[in-house]
Structure 1
Amino acid sequence: MTGVKAMDVEAGDASTHNYKKEKSFAPMGMRIVFKDLDYHVASNANKKERAFLLKKVSGYFEAHQMAALVGIALITNPRVLFLDEPTSGLDSFTSNEVMTVVKTLAGDGVTICATIHSPTSYCFSLFDSLMLLVKGRVVYFGPRGHSAIDFARSACPNVKEFLPGYNDAEYLVDLITEADIAGKSDDMADHYVGVRPGGGMGRGCGMVLNSSMYKENAATIDQYLSESADVLPAHIQKELAVRSATVTPWWWGLKTLIKYRTAKNYKDGEFLGPRIGDKIMISLLIMTLYLGIGDEFVDSNYVNIAAVLFMWCTLPAFGAAAYVPSLVLERNLFTRERNDGLYLVITYLLSKMFDELVLAGLASLGISAYVFYGIQLQGQWVTFWLIYYITLSNGIVLAYFIAAISPNLDVANALLPTYVVTLLFFGGFLFRFHEMPPWWKWYSYIDFLRYSWGSLMVNQFEDNDPKWLGGTVLSNYSLHNVDKWRYMGYSVLFFIVFFLLALITMQFKKYQSR
């Protein structure tokens, strides 16, 4: 995705429904990336600048890639911004450039909390305060610079000499690391808290005399916590008074996701292949294998007709495995965008259903047509197609539910086929309903394949239910009193249930542990 389009997507999701590009936060984000270039440079720039902007973000220089991420995060207008090593992998010039941009954000009222790896002297000078952690304990929290070095040396004297060529940041990191290697990390943490060793070294071996720095920090925190919200500026009070995780209406977020992501997916062979290719191959196999048997009403052929209709129901359920990775592999993206308040969970899930169901509906029209007429099945083709489409939709939403509850892709790929296999035994073909053991019969009522296959059988034989094995074909499979439309309605209820289960799981399950 290009930088311009990435800004469009994020700004469209993050803004209200009256979003206008020129009034959104996109200009700020784009200026973060390209400094003095305006957002409209995408349409007004010279050819060289335009070509650069229309590159994919992966083609940007490293500094611009990092700045683009910061710019995208700024579209939601955050008051606090957490940056995890924004200079990692960058050279000193690029690091200085990125951190200078970050410093300007702090000057605009954004609180920046950043971890940083091997900062240059210039980068280090940009920070207002410094917190050092060793093994999860605070060993220093105060101004950066020589005061931090003096405090660390007073905690662990004679550990590391300040040699010529050191800058403050390098020496401080080396000093803390050397002390930790020497087993004095608890001494440093105790020194910050203000513990005087008594009879031993380390945590819990002395009397607490709270250091002046610790007292000042604690007092400042208490002051912030005790302050009334009334002391905040009016615009910040308004921001904090929100009742929802996002200001974006669900329908606007859905429109934005469909506009950018659905359109992109429908042009992507990797997206289309697993969703269409397997269905075309298997349907061609079924059609050619059972070619022309659908109108042969003879005793030896009724099992074949029942079998092909049963396979027509089970294949969409097994094919649902192709949809599992879509949700699992996007978890990090989903979590980040949800944390940024870009959309509601229902918005995301509806957009995924739109992606899958529209494509499935269009593909199933042609597939069901040549299977129905190639096998010369009886009944209504529209019913034949509709049952297949509902069953396929159940398989899709089932795959999303399994993906939502599974911790990883391996578990999801094992859980889905295991569940589908259990459905085969209770669908009514492998084991007739009236012959099922009473202690297992209940499971057939919550098997959506039962209702799909039952509807197909009634559609095939309702106008001509021939005599067979002392009864009729439908009575032999306990389907003589079945209304195909009622069974189709039951199948739709399964879709609603699986959808709600997936929605509830995605709403409350935490996909990241901290």
Structure 2
Amino acid sequence: MASDSLHSTVHQQPSPNLTSFPIILKFEEVVYKVKPDHRGLCRGRSSWSSTEKTILNGITGMVFPGSIKRRTGFVAQDDVLYPHLTVSETLIFTALLRLPNSLTNNDKIAHAERVITELGLTRCRNSIVGGALIRGISGGEKKRVSIGQEMLINPSLLLLDEPTSGLDSTTAQRILTTIKGVARGGRTVVTTIHQPSSRLYHMFDKVVVLSEGRCIYNGPASAAMEYFSSIGFSTSITLNPADFLLDLANGIAPDPEHASEQSEGLEQERKLTREALISAYDKNIAPKLKLEISNSRMDIYSFNKHASSRNDPTKAEQWCTSWWYQFKVLLQRGLKERRYEAFNRLRIFQVISVAFLGGLLWWHTPESHIQDRVALLFFFSVFWGFYPLYNAVFTFPQERRMLIKERSSGMYRLSSYFMARTIGDLPLELALPTAFVFIIYWMGGLKPHPVTFILSLLVVLYSVLVSQSLGLAFGAILMEIKQATTLASVTTLVFLIAGGYYVQQIPPFIAWLKYLSYSYYCYKLLLGVQYDEEDYYECSNGVLCRVEDFGPIKSMGLNQLWVDVLMMALMLVGYRLVAYLALRRVR
């Protein structure tokens, strides 16, 4: 069903720099087909169907007030919102990112406040949006927030997919009243809807009714019942017009007296009903609609010619805001969104408890117990090589829907989002390993020299960044949490075995595997920081041996550490580049 309005009345005066440009939405003979996937059906049937299913079949229509990315608003059926942001924060951050540089931040915030007032969200402005596991605002309020995000740009064309889905009748009416007000403000509004109540149906100006992909009506909502009555489909009882139209779309005639009780006869009768409705549409409505579209072409041409002569701000620059501005706003929004989960008690307890437990197990390990000290250094490389990886795997799959929504509206550059998202995670990713090293390093009795401690800490943090990079790459490539975590599990297992501690003499034909493991380089760097080639340890009573000759250390080596630093740097940059390129494929 569609709604369009050319009334000039507005509820709130938009900002002078947010002029609404009229747009005519026109579609002619649109056909859309898909090949159904029947995997999972009974054994013996083909897993893929060779036949195509037609969704749209020759649909023609036009909705009056230019379609253009930053002049078009789209509200999806499911509300895609950050759960930890308040209503006010959600709309303000959207305004800061979507409105042009010609407006100051104060102007953008003021415009967001006007939209909050216009949509009746003042009462819940300081409440968090909430989500599946987080209590927040109601479903109707979420839908109004989603509509508000699109209204911020004062769109010429607003598209809504099932805006009343899952809402009660009263809330649905409030949403439709809001949408009706948007249409009266001089905007073109198109929405899909299934079986609305009668009072909702009468709020629409124009409806398009489809039956198995074919159009059976296109015209004023108030004239639909009269039209179907004129072609022989009338009912003697009072019905909700939407229910009546839905029956016709399914091939159910309004007079049940002659309906067949046999399934074969019923299906044939429905087919005949659909054919009669399509034939009537092709005869009575389609010619007038095509003539109307044909006549409108000159108007559209003259409008576009006039519009091209004006100074259109959207042509002056590709993006509404600069890269640096987008980065700052996205970073600020990311920190606010994750302020509740960034330093949650569970993660802090997990890391601190492991640090204290490890410190007690390696409590003041004597220098002569070199095997235990080497094991502690390997534990450093393993724990902080795998823990950040598993956390980073969830980053992009969890934000996939939000990224698609905001990128499709041209809100920001992918590079600014990528940098803000990854840098915003650094406080947590670096604070916890720092606390971990401070606890276990001194409890374990490692070399007490301050420089050695600082270098050991830097190596661990370096490994954290590389590990996080690989996790980001896995998540961005697969964009599915279960698959990404499975791949991460296999990878960490291989890195653990090839890390240089468990297997010291790897067969030559597979020795290359260890050079793919960042845990191997981290472990080698920690050994190089902790020991020197000239160091000795007590290998037996009163006997000193060179550290370099100790088996596990000899297999790793204590020289050419700069090569290990360089290899980890290549991994750090390479993994993040792969993650960025993978995100560019997300549509």
Q: TM above 0.5, one fold?
A: yes
1:421-436 superposed matches below 5 A: 421-432=493-504, 435-436=505-506
Aligned-pair CA distance for 1:470 = 9.2
Corresponding residue for residue 399 of structure 2: 330
Residue 330 of structure 2 contacts residue 421 of structure 2 at CA under 8 Å; is this kept in 1?
Answer: no
Q: Distance in 1 between matches of 2:282 and 2:235?
A: 28
Amino acid at match of 1:33: L
Structure 1: unaligned runs, 5 residues or longer: 36-48, 196-208
Aligned equivalent of 1:19, options 96, 104, 122: 104
Aligned-pair CA distance for 1:418 = 0.9
Residue 309 of structure 1 contacts residue 456 of structure 1 at CA under 8 Å; is this kept in 2?
Answer: yes
Shift of the 419–11 alpha-carbon distance from structure 1 to 2, 3 Å rule, reads same
Shift of the 61–420 alpha-carbon distance from structure 1 to 2, 3 Å rule, reads closer
Structure with the larger RCO, 1 or 2 (CA within 8 Å, 6+ apart): 2
Amino acid at match of 1:82: L
Identity %: 20
Shift of the 179–165 alpha-carbon distance from structure 1 to 2, 3 Å rule, reads closer
Aligned-pair CA distance for 1:308 = 1.6
Q: Distance in 2 between matches of 1:174 and 1:193?
A: 14
Corresponding residue for residue 206 of structure 1: none
Shift of the 178–74 alpha-carbon distance from structure 1 to 2, 3 Å rule, reads same
Corresponding residue for residue 448 of structure 1: 518
Q: Distance in 1 between matches of 2:295 and 2:469?
A: 50
Output one character per residue of 1:20-43: Cα deviation in whole Å (capped at 9) or x when no partner: 2335641442233129xxxxxxxx
Aligned equivalent of 1:250, options 314, 323, 335: 323
Q: Does 1:438 align with 2:513?
A: no
Shift of the 336–165 alpha-carbon distance from structure 1 to 2, 3 Å rule, reads same
Aligned-pair CA distance for 1:128 = 3.2
Residue 96 of structure 1 contacts residue 123 of structure 1 at CA under 8 Å; is this kept in 2?
Answer: yes
Amino acid at match of 2:172: S
Corresponding residue for residue 317 of structure 1: 385
Residue 192 of structure 1 contacts residue 211 of structure 1 at CA under 8 Å; is this kept in 2?
Answer: no
Amino acid at match of 1:289: L
Amino acid at match of 2:500: G
Q: Distance in 2 between matches of 1:194 and 1:257?
A: 54
Corresponding residue for residue 457 of structure 1: 527
Q: Distance in 2 between matches of 1:354 and 1:95?
A: 41
Corresponding residue for residue 248 of structure 2: 175
1:134-145 superposed matches below 5 A: 134-145=211-222
1:235-384 superposed matches below 5 A: 238=312, 241=315, 244=318, 246-266=319-339, 268-269=340-341, 272-273=344-345, 275-293=347-365, 296=367, 298=368, 301-319=369-387, 320-378=389-447, 380-384=452-456
Q: Distance in 2 between matches of 1:473 and 1:95?
A: 73
Shift of the 186–344 alpha-carbon distance from structure 1 to 2, 3 Å rule, reads farther
Aligned-pair CA distance for 1:482 = 2.2
Per the alignment, in what secondary structure is the counterpart of residue 440 of structure 1? helix
Per the alignment, in what secondary structure is the counterpart of residue 138 of structure 1? strand
Aligned-pair CA distance for 1:424 = 1.9
1:472-483 superposed matches below 5 A: 476-483=554-561
Shift of the 235–491 alpha-carbon distance from structure 1 to 2, 3 Å rule, reads farther
CA RMSD of aligned residues (A): 3.5
Per the alignment, in what secondary structure is the counterpart of residue 190 of structure 2? strand
Residue 32 of structure 1 contacts residue 67 of structure 1 at CA under 8 Å; is this kept in 2?
Answer: no
Residue 280 of structure 1 contacts residue 367 of structure 1 at CA under 8 Å; is this kept in 2?
Answer: yes
Corresponding residue for residue 116 of structure 2: 30
Q: Distance in 2 between matches of 1:109 and 1:444?
A: 65
Shift of the 413–61 alpha-carbon distance from structure 1 to 2, 3 Å rule, reads closer
Corresponding residue for residue 487 of structure 2: 415
Aligned equivalent of 1:131, options 161, 184, 208: 208
Amino acid at match of 1:3: V
Question: Which has the larger displacement, 52-61 or 253-262?
Answer: 52-61
Shift of the 224–274 alpha-carbon distance from structure 1 to 2, 3 Å rule, reads farther
TM-score (norm 2): 0.70
Aligned-pair CA distance for 1:312 = 0.7
Shift of the 476–425 alpha-carbon distance from structure 1 to 2, 3 Å rule, reads same
Corresponding residue for residue 256 of structure 2: none
Per the alignment, in what secondary structure is the counterpart of residue 145 of structure 1? helix
Q: Distance in 1 between matches of 2:124 and 2:252?
A: 48
Amino acid at match of 2:321: T
Output one character per residue of 1:321-377: Cα deviation in whole Å (capped at 9) or x when no partner: 233334322322222222233322222222222232122222322221222222222
Aligned-pair CA distance for 1:409 = 1.9
Amino acid at match of 2:312: K
Q: Distance in 2 between matches of 1:269 and 1:443?
A: 36
Corresponding residue for residue 41 of structure 1: none
Aligned-pair CA distance for 1:459 = 0.6
Output one character per residue of 1:190-225: Cα deviation in whole Å (capped at 9) or x when no partner: 557659xxxxxxxxxxxxx95453344455566778
Output one character per residue of 1:473-513: Cα deviation in whole Å (capped at 9) or x when no partner: 67622414322x44223213212111111111112133xxx
Task: Indicate the structure with greater helix content.
Answer: 1
Aligned-pair CA distance for 1:131 = 1.9
Count the aligned residue pairs: 470
Q: Distance in 1 between matches of 2:203 and 2:313?
A: 28
Corresponding residue for residue 506 of structure 1: 583
Structure 2: unaligned runs, 5 residues or longer: 1-84, 131-135, 254-265, 537-544
Q: Distance in 2 between matches of 1:239 and 1:135?
A: 42
Output one character per residue of 1:446-478: Cα deviation in whole Å (capped at 9) or x when no partner: 221121111111111126444469935676224
Q: Does 1:166 align with 2:239?
A: yes
Q: Distance in 1 between matches of 2:230 and 2:179?
A: 30
Per the alignment, in what secondary structure is the counterpart of residue 141 of structure 1? strand
Aligned-pair CA distance for 1:57 = 4.5
Aligned-pair CA distance for 1:386 = 0.9
Aligned-pair CA distance for 1:71 = 1.1
Question: Which has the larger displacement, 137-146 or 391-400?
Answer: 137-146
Q: Distance in 2 between matches of 1:64 and 1:81?
A: 18
Corresponding residue for residue 471 of structure 1: 549
Amino acid at match of 2:378: F
Corresponding residue for residue 198 of structure 1: none
Corresponding residue for residue 4 of structure 1: 88
Output one character per residue of 1:245-288: Cα deviation in whole Å (capped at 9) or x when no partner: x423232222223323314523x157634643332222222222
Residue 140 of structure 1 contacts residue 148 of structure 1 at CA under 8 Å; is this kept in 2?
Answer: no
Residue 76 of structure 1 contacts residue 341 of structure 1 at CA under 8 Å; is this kept in 2?
Answer: no
Shift of the 489–282 alpha-carbon distance from structure 1 to 2, 3 Å rule, reads farther
Amino acid at match of 1:233: A
1:173-212 superposed matches below 5 A: 173-179=246-252, 182=267, 194=279, 211=283
